[in-house]
Amino acid sequence: MPTIIFDKAATEFSNLYHPERPARLMMTKAHLVERHPDWAWIQPRLASETEILRVHHPKHLARLRQPVDFDADTPYYPGIDGHARRAAGAAIESVAMALRGQKGFALMRPPGHHATSNRAMGFCYLNSIAIAAHYALEAGCERVGIWDFDAHHGNGTEEIVFGNNRIRFASAHQHPCFPGTGTVSRGNVFNWPIPPRSDADRHASAVRQALDRLIEFNPDIVLVSAGFDAYTRDPLTEMTLEQEHFANFGRWLKETGLPAAPILEGGYSNDLPILVDAFLGGWSD
């Protein structure tokens, strides 16, 4: 069974009407506690400055502390640097658990995969998955795979890891869609752009191909940007996946037999709790 990495502090910042809201975590936690009372819950630590600076420029850390919005989608919140460090710390803990033969899912916010080395954007402030990938390398992994099935392309992750031959990034995502990237594959980066309203099985096939491309890399660990906004009723996207597809993603991950470290990215419908549950159930059954 998985351990859920969670901190109530991640629900203590918000902006009126913003889709990346505390209820995403609160509803999911309540659902998982009710459905799986035997699952363990632990709190993450803050990612250290050393861990963050493997990925982000020092000026970016300084900018996170300035009380000015980053863009219309990415507002400044008091203490957002700490909240983002806590989310990154949860991703690191998921990796650490995986390397010990355990399963840990980081149920945290803010998400991270749009944050570039020097810019916060798209609801993201620090790139948790990239920070965790570099932690895995420092912990002794020779090769790290990153599987991103969020409906939005992980442009920040791609920017950070491109050219690092010890990391392979594979993403299946809606295009056209924010942020407008991820149309081509290059080097250690593999992208599957999926048109809006595509057939769900076609989309799922691309997600499977992305995972297979990582397996070919023979990684020591697979990190997962687990976004649930390709769901058919998500308010921010135009995709058609159903609950069963996310359950399949979890099963596919389990069937690799590889250590895995999934973290929550997007997913903005009120059905997020059942989608997370489906994925975790497939991964842990």
Q: Could you tell me the mean pLDDT of each successive run of 10 residues in the chain, 285 residues long?
A: 97 96 98 98 98 98 98 97 98 98 98 98 98 98 98 98 98 98 98 98 98 98 98 98 98 98 98 98 92
pTM: 0.98
What's the order of all strands across the beta sheet hosting 104-106? 40-42, 3-5, 104-106, 260-264, 221-226, 144-148, 167-174, 189-194
Could you give all domains of the chain from N- to C-terminal order, each with its CATH number?
3-284 (3.40.800.20)
Locus of tokens 């300035």? 66
Q: Which two tokens stand for residue 105?
A: 């899912």
The pLDDT, as a whole number, for residue 239 is 98
Distance CA 155, CA 134 (A): 17
The pLDDT, as a whole number, for residue 91 is 99
The pLDDT, as a whole number, for residue 117 is 98
- Return the active site residues: 114
